[in-house]
């Protein structure tokens, strides 16, 4: 048994995902067998020779796909029940992922615009995120912390909308620095800052 796929699906409605997988998703290969938590895709064995005993019979290749939920998020896993890769399994998994994204797209609503000169972060966000505000109000530095969360969320979204080349934080091992010297490579002479 090999794990082939592990996907987080952005919906708390696990039953909708399970129903879609069982009834609507049309795989390109394999025979679909319905299970309580998903499906199995059954394939013909690589060698279809007639064996005399069940001990000699090859394992019937299958891909088992199932869903479950934890904390309002749905997850999907796929496992291969075969000793070797199944012909077309990569194609099946790509098709499944593309179909999942079309049926259950990521949705990231923009946080509301907040004017903190007119109201507190608690007052501004309470209509949109009442539970979040409730729990941050119980924290010792909740207002400061919620301001920071809001700021980071806006910064992250801006970075996603307008990606930029990140600053270099890992440097070439050939770069050397010492006190009062600028970084140099092995083929340059260091310069000192004499003032």
Q: Which residues, in sequence order, are CB contacts of 102 under 8 Å at separation 6+?
A: none
pTM above 0.75, yes or no: no
Sign of the dihedral defined by the CA atoms of residues 158, 164, 165, 169, in that order: negative
Quote the CA–CA distance of 64 and 160 in Å, as a whole number.
34
Tokens standing for residue 132: 């979040």
Mean pLDDT, range 15-36, rounded to an integer: 93
Q: What is the pLDDT of residues 129-178, one digit of tens each?
A: 899 999 999 999 999 999 999 999 888 878 767 777 767 777 777 766 55
Q: In the predicted model, what is the mean pLDDT of the chain? A: 82
Q: What is the pLDDT of residues 84-118, one digit of tens each?
A: 888 888 999 999 999 999 999 877 778 889 899 99
Given the candidates 3.30.300.30, 3.30.310.50, 3.20.20.100, 3.40.50.11740, the CATH classification of the domain at 2-46+58-103 is: 3.30.310.50
Asked whether residue 188 carries a pLDDT value surpassing 80, the answer given is: no
What pLDDT does 49 receive?
A: 52
What pLDDT does 177 receive?
A: 57
What pLDDT does 118 receive?
A: 92
Q: Is residue 96 a contact partner of residue 25, using CB atoms and an 8 Å limit?
A: yes
CATH 3.30.310.50 domain residues, the chain: 2-46+58-103
Tokens standing for residue 136: 């941050």
């Amino acid at each position: 048994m090999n794990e082939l796929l592990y996907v987080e699906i952005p919906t708390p409605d696990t039953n909708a995902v399970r129903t879609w997988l069982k009834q609507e998703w049309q795989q390109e290969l394999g025979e679909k067998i319905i299970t309580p938590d998903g499906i199995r895709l059954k394939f013909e064995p690589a060698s279809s020779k007639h064996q005399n005993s069940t001990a000699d019979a090859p394992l019937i290749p299958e891909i088992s796909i199932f869903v479950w939920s934890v904390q309002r998020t749905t997850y999907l896993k796929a496992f291969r029940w075969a000793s070797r890769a199944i012909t077309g399994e990569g194609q099946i998994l790509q098709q499944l992922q593309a179909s999942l994204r079309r049926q259950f797209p990521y949705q990231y609503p923009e946080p509301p615009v907040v004017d903190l000169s007119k109201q507190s972060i608690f007052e501004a966000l309470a209509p949109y995120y009442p539970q979040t505000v409730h729990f941050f109000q119980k924290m010792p530095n909740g207002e400061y912390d919620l301001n920071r969360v809001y700021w980071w969320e806006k910064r992250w979204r801006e970075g996603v909308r307008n990606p930029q080349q990140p600053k270099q934080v890992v440097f070439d091992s050939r770069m050397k620095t010492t006190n009062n010297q600028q970084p140099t490579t092995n083929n340059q002479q260091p310069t000192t800052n004499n003032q």
